[in-house]
Amino acid sequence: MAANTLNGEVKLFITHLNARFHTPTEVVGLVKAQYDIDVTAQNVQAYDPTTFTGRALSAELRSEFEAERERFRASVTDIPLANPAYRLRKLQETMDKNNRNPVLVTSILEQAAKEVGGAFTNKKVLTGAGDNGEILINDTRLEEIRARIAAMQAGATADTAAE
């Protein structure tokens, strides 16, 4: 079905699904199930302003897309799987049911250790302070690195002035 023959409700439905990071194939199936309308993946991409095909999306649908994407990203905490406590509880339940399976138990223990240890976060901790509490990077003090950078920048400026 051509994209221009879709009614406003279906267009908004497709736009919201795109904003929630559904694949075009998933959206095709959901539109078929919800509205009994056949659309193609190319039709679906026309309602995603982040794609080349959707670059000419109307301002109204573009603002709907942006608003829905923002709501979706903000609501990630509403998804139980995104919560470490929920994941640990499920791991514990699986462990309790399968405590006689040594391979599975080892895997669950490893997964739980990663979960508790923060293996699934972006957080970086810089440790290893020097004598005076200074931060060391490969045994070089941060001030030494800054001095080298300043010297290189001054040398580059002097080189360009000499030319």
Token match 């791991």: residue? 91
Quick one: DSSP state of residue 129? B
Contact assessment for residue 134 and residue 142, using Cβ atoms and an 8 Å cutoff: yes
**Is 132 in the same domain as 162?**
yes
Contact assessment for residue 57 and residue 46, using Cβ atoms and an 8 Å cutoff: yes
Distance between CA 54 and CA 49 in Å, rounded? 4
Give the contacts of 20 (CB within 8 A, at least 6 positions apart): 68, 69, 72
**99-146 pLDDT, tens per residue?**
899 899 899 888 888 888 766 555 555 555 555 555 545 555 556 667
Determine the structural domain holding residue 71 and report its residue range: 3-78
pTM given for the model: 0.53
**23-41 pLDDT, tens per residue?**
999 999 999 999 999 999 9
**Is 74 in the same domain as 33?**
yes
**Is 84 in the same domain as 74?**
no
**Total domain count, the chain:** 3
